[in-house]
Structures are given as C-alpha cells and as structure tokens.
C-alpha cells in the first residue's frame, strides 16, 4: 500500500529502473492497493507528463499497464512514461481537489489546461455607507455589501451601470468626492443622480432607491416597473408633468437594460451554461452567465487539449479549474456528459458551500440555452482558427524575410518611452502563433544608474540586461517557452549594434535580432531593417509582412507610451501623505476626507489631527512632525 505520508518526490518501491512504457507501469502494481489518490506520470527527465486521480489507484494504473486498447494520445503518454509518483487520499473528492491543484501548479503536457484564469467583474452595492455608491468590483469581497454577477466583461458591467444610473439615480462618485461636494455635479443635471451629497434626497428615500436597484439585479424588475408606472400616473393626475416625464424616462431606461441583457430565460434564474466545441485538436469552451433570469454576457476560453483529449475530459477538466477561484452557481448546464458528474458536483458544492447541480438538458428552454452556447463556441473557434492560420502565414513570411531557420514561436519587441529622460520606462511585448500574448508583456522602470537622461542606448541596455540575466537565472538550460526566437528593436544600426554587444556579453549571440528604423522621411511603409553584420534592407510597401511588423512595432509603442503615462500620472498625483510612517491608504483617505487636501492636513494642529477617525495622539504627532519639518 502506498503510504500517504510519503513526500511527493519519493517513488514507492517496486518500479524497475531503466524501464519505460507498459513495463515500467506494471512494476508499480505490487505496491498499490484500492485506495483513492492521485498519480503522476513522468518521463526520463523527471518532467511530469500527466496528473490523474483515481477512486482505486491499483485498478486505474493496471489499465495503463495493458499493452493495447488505448487512444493515440494515451498510448503516446504511456510510451514516454519512465516513472510514476503516488499520493493516497481519504476520499475520491479529496483526490479530485488535489489533482486540480497539481495540474494548476505543474501544467503537465497531457492534461487539459485552462490558460485564461482571469477574475470576473461584479456590481457592488456596499452596506458601509448611508448613501452607498453603485460600482464595479473585481477581486476579493472585502467590502460588506451585496454583490451581483458575475458579468462576462468590464464592458458588460459598465453598460449596465450606465443604464442603472438612469433608472435608480444612485451615485457613482467616490466617498472623498461625495464628502467634499458643496453643490450637485453634472450627473444630477442630466438626471443620472439624485444628489445625496448636497441633501437633495433624504436617507430613507435613497435607501428605497437602493432597495429597488437590489431587487432589479435580483430579477424582480416587473414589480419595479409597475411601481414606477403607478407613480408616473399619479404625478400626471396631479399635474406634476415634469416629475411624470422623469419617471417615464426611468421606465424607458429600465426597459433598455432588460433588452441589453440579450437572452432572458424564464425558467432559469441562476446558471452557468458551459459548452465545448472540438475541431482538429483545438477546443473552445463558451460560458454564458445567467443570473436573476438575465443573461449577463458570455466569455470564450481556449484550453490546451492535452495532446488530443475528447469533449467529456476537456469539459470536466475545465470545470475543475474554472471554479477553482470562482463561486459556482446553483446550476451548471453542460453540452456533454462528463465522466464523473456526481464527483464534480460534490466538489463544486464543497467550494460553494451549498448544493450545485450539473445537467445536460435534452429539450426545452435549457437545451436551447446550451445549443446557443454551443453555436457560439463553434463560431468563435472557426474565427480563431482562421486568424491563427493567417498568423502562421505571417510568421512564415517573417522567417523568410529575415532568413530565420523557421517561423518564430515567440517574438519579443522592445521599446522605451520618456520625456527628456523623466519617468523613463522600458516595455516588452510578446507575439506568437496565437497573436499578441498580453499576459507575457513586461514593463521596466528605468533605474538610471549611470545613465544620462534621454540616453536610449543606455535604457535599452538596462532593460535587456535585466530581462536576460533573470531568464538565465530562472532557466539556464533554455528549456522553457519563455526564450524568444526573435528580438525586434525599435531603432536602427546604432541600436542593433548596442543590443548585439549586450547579448554577446551575456553569451546569447544565437538569438536573432532585427532593428526596425523609420527610414526615409520617417514614413510608415519606408522602414529599414538592420541585422548585425548585414546591410540594411527594406520590404516592398504592399508586403503583408511589412504590415505585420508595423503592427508589432506599434503595439510595443502603445504599451510603452501607456506605461510611461501611468507612471507620470502617478508621480503627478503623489501626495506628501504617502511617505508618513503609519499612514496607509485607509488613514490617508480619512485625512483627505476630513481636511479636504494635503495642504490643509499640514496646517492642522495636533488636536485637529486627533479628531480624525483612526488617528491616535502618537500618530498625530508623527504626522505633524513629518509635514512641518523643514
């Protein structure tokens, strides 16, 4: 029996060294029993090929030990297996949870991997203020209040918030702005806010608007519309035509919100609709979010298919990884049956703290929702495959134009941005067969040690040195996927010569590099390309590869400019309060809300500072001394 106390690195006895494939796996059977647990299959380099879970480890491993009856994908995986590792668990649910954690950590080649794991935005109605702000929220739920979502994108949230302002007239300003207002802002003038900041609405009346907004976001919009219609009729009967017109506008805005939600199922109040389409080894998983009988958008995902997994395995792996950091709804509608629906439902219920149902509907409205999601997955994958094919042709053309050994899998483009040397930043963007890889973008704050302000050569040297020294430290054998096949530098012969010297000092002369210079008159379409030891050359103006390179350069320039502007804006908005020991963001907000500005804080006496919530006598002395030291 496998000892559950064994460390993950220890291989249980029974494996014969030097064997591979079925014979290697067969050697482990004598040390296994029917316990649930997790197994790992490793190749000769001890790289994890696959992580799996089993209700019965011995039975599962014995299946791999059979010499036939496997799919092509599993057969390839078995042939590469040189060792295995095991961990037993008390239950199969624990094994499934451990499996998902290990897959996320190790990213094995033959497992299905969810590559996009971003959080989703919500709408938040806080409960920590008498006049709460209706706002977008993403991340940890630290603020007490009601959360509505998830929404598929920030754009979907913003559109809904924009319409909800028209309907419920709730404020969207920050607490500091709210506390400092002396007259209503423009939103009140255009009838998108009830101006609680200056007392134009009482706290009970504002609370009623908040309650209406919460009811609407919970799916109870019909009652709200009826109430608004009654109020409009009463205002009209009382000859209050201006108020009646305002109520009419709110009803229209509410109708627009409902129409913008798209598909609004009558029989499904809360569900995620998850559909997978598989074609030529590529998969698209489409997720629609149904909350409060409303569709709150959809998102497509493109998981790595583990070298040939089928729809049920892709879907099951997706569910386990997708809901690792997200709360599952009460119902998940699926396009395909998965292998372990009861086990997955139990895992999701554990994460949600309540019952979660998985279903594959065959008829009715739920089946229509799944079919709609499946159609979207099919269309999204077709568009992605067409785009990928076009990207592949561009990479082939790039390799031919620059004399590369083959199409580059990873292109890194570097650029700098500054204003006369101030707020200098370096930027790196990454592109590959799937287009721009924005999760791989990096920004570098130029430290400027020994660099003359405005020295582009010095900045580029610092950026590349920091980038590749770290890469050499993390992956000295250059086995990972983060090593570039091509470097594109914004600049001409001087920049290329400087970069070539940097790479030579690091022992990386074999990485191809090309400088992209503006060329004659600095016009787009007349770019010159520079390579170390070669004469500059140009591509014809209508060459698609030239347009592709321009897109790469422009994206690097956009990212560098955006990073520089963000750094400059942060410097402009810096406050003297930022450097005071013991004054964090919360106390800083409290001070600014109480006094109105950093200058007013500096002029305040000790007793005035102590009047601020959270400021003790000792801290008030620290603040006073810090701001009044000359």
**3-state SS track over 374-405:** HHHHHHHHHHHHHHHHHHHHHHHHHHHHHCCC
| Superfamily (CATH) of domain 21-110 | GIY-YIG endonuclease (3.40.1440.10)
Structure tokens belonging to residue 595: 């006094």
Q: What angle do CA 566, 569, 572 make, to 5 degrees?
A: 155
Q: Which residues face 299 on adjacent strands?
A: 287
pLDDT at 344: 93
pLDDT at 583: 80
CATH 1.10.150.20 residue window(s) in the chain = 576-627
Cα–Cα distances in Å, from 286 out to 16, 153, 371?
45, 14, 11
The band of 174, judged by pLDDT with boundaries at 50, 70 and 90, is confident
Using CA atoms, how far apart are residues 435 and 597, in angstroms rounded to an integer? 46
Which of 386 and 465 is assigned the larger pLDDT? 465
Cα radius of gyration rounded to whole Å, the chain = 30
Q: Which residues contact 184 (CB under 8 A, 6 or more apart)?
A: 193, 195, 197, 198, 200
Which of 223 and 75 is assigned the larger pLDDT? 75
Question: 576-627 sits in which CATH class?
Answer: mainly alpha
CB atoms < 10 A from the CB of 467, how many?
Answer: 20
The band of 388, judged by pLDDT with boundaries at 50, 70 and 90, is confident
pLDDT at 3: 43
Using CA atoms, how far apart are residues 252 and 246, in angstroms rounded to an integer? 10
DSSP 171: -
Using CA atoms, how far apart are residues 50 and 306, in angstroms rounded to an integer? 9
The band of 287, judged by pLDDT with boundaries at 50, 70 and 90, is very high
Instruction: Say yes or no to pLDDT of 282 above 50.
Output: yes
CATH 3.40.1440.10 residue window(s) in the chain = 21-110
pLDDT at 389: 84
CATH 3.30.420.340 residue window(s) in the chain = 270-382, 410-570
pLDDT at 570: 66
Q: Which residues face 435 on adjacent strands?
A: 432
| Bridge-based pairing state of the strands 270-279 and 331-334 | parallel
Instruction: Say yes or no to pLDDT of 1 above 50.
Output: no
First to last CA, the chain: 73
- CA neighbor of 291 nearest in space, from 330, 349, 336, 320: 330
Kindly report the length of the chain: 630
- For 10-40, the pLDDT digits (tens) are 445 455 566 888 889 988 888 888 899 999 9
Query: May I ask the CATH architecture of the domain 270-382?
Result: 2-Layer Sandwich (3.30)
Using CA atoms, how far apart are residues 181 and 593, in angstroms rounded to an integer? 11
User: What would you measure as the largest C-alpha separation in the chain, in angstroms?
Assistant: 93
| Superfamily (CATH) of domain 410-570 | UvrC, RNAse H endonuclease domain (3.30.420.340)
- CA neighbor of 463 nearest in space, from 431, 493, 494, 490: 490
């Amino acid at each position: 029996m496998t000892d559950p106390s064994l460390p993950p690195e220890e291989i249980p006895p029974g494996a014969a060294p030097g064997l591979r494939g079925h014979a290697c796996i067969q050697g482990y059977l004598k040390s296994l029993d029917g316990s649930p647990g997790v197994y790992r299959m490793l190749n000769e380099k001890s790289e994890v090929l696959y992580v799996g879970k089993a209700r019965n480890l011995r039975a599962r491993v014995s299946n791999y030990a059979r010499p036939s009856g496997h799919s092509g994908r599993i057969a390839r995986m078995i042939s590469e297996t040189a060792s295995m590792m095991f961990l037993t668990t008390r239950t199969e649910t624990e094994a499934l949870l451990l499996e998902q954690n290990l897959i996320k950590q190790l990213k094995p080649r033959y497992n299905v991997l969810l590559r996009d794991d971003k959080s989703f935005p919500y709408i938040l109605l806080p409960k920590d203020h008498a006049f709460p702000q209706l706002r977008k929220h993403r991340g940890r739920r630290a603020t007490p209040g009601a959360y509505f979502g998830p929404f598929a994108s920030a754009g979907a949230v913003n559109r809904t918030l924009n319409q909800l302002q028209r309907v419920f007239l709730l404020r969207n300003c920050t607490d500091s702005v709210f506390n400092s207002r002396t007259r209503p802002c423009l939103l009140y003038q255009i009838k998108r806010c009830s101006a609680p900041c200056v007392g134009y609405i009482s706290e009970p009346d504002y609370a009623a608007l908040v309650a209406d907004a919460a009811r609407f976001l919970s799916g109870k919009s019909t009652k709200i519309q009826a109430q608004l219609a009654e109020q409009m009729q009463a205002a009209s009967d009382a000859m209050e035509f201006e108020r009646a017109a305002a109520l009419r506008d709110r009803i229209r805005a509410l109708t627009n919100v409902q129409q913008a939600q798209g598909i609004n199922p009558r029989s499904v109040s809360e569900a995620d609709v998850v559909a997978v389409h598989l074609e030529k080894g590529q998969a698209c998983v489409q997720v629609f979010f149904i909350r409060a009988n409303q569709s709150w958008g959809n998102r497509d995902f493109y998981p790595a298919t583990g070298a040939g997994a089928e729809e049920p395995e892709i879907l099951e792996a997706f569910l386990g990884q997708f809901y690792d950091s997200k709360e599952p709804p009460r119902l998940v509608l699926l396009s395909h049956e998965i292998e372990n629906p009861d086990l997955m439902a139990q895992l999701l219920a554990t994460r949600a703290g309540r019952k979660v149902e998985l279903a594959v509907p065959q008829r009715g409205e739920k089946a229509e929702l799944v079919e709609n999601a499946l159609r979207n997955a099919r269309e999204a994958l077709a568009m992605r495959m067409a785009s990928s094919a076009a990207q592949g042709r561009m990479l082939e053309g790039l390799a031919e134009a620059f004399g590369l050994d083959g199409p580059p899998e990873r292109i890194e483009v570097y650029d700098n941005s500054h204003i006369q040397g101030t707020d200098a930043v370096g930027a790196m963007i990454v592109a590959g067969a799937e287009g721009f890889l924005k999760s791989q973008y990096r920004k570098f704050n130029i430290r400027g040690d020994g660099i003359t302000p405005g020295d582009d050569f010095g900045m580029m040297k610092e950026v590349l040195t920091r980038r590749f020294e770290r890469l050499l430290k993390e992956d000295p054998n250059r086995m990972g996927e983060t090593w570039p096949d091509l470097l594109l530098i914004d600049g001409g012969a001087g920049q290329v010569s400087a970069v070539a010297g940097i790479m030579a000092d690091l022992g990386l002369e074999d990485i191809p590099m090309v400088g992209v210079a503006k060329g004659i008159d600095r016009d787009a379409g007349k770019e010159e390309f520079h390579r170390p030891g070669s004469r500059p050359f140009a591509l014809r103006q209508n060459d698609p590869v030239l347009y592709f390179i321009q897109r790469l350069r422009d994206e690097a320039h956009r990212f560098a400019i955006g990073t520089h502007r963000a750094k400059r804006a942060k410097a402009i908005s810096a406050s003297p309060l930022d450097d005071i020991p013991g004054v964090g963001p919360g106390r800083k907000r409290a001070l600014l809300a109480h006094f109105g500005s950093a200058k007013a804080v500096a002029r305040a006496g000790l007793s005035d500072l102590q009047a601020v919530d959270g400021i003790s006598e000792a801290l008030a002395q620290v603040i006073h001394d810090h701001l009044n030291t000359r």
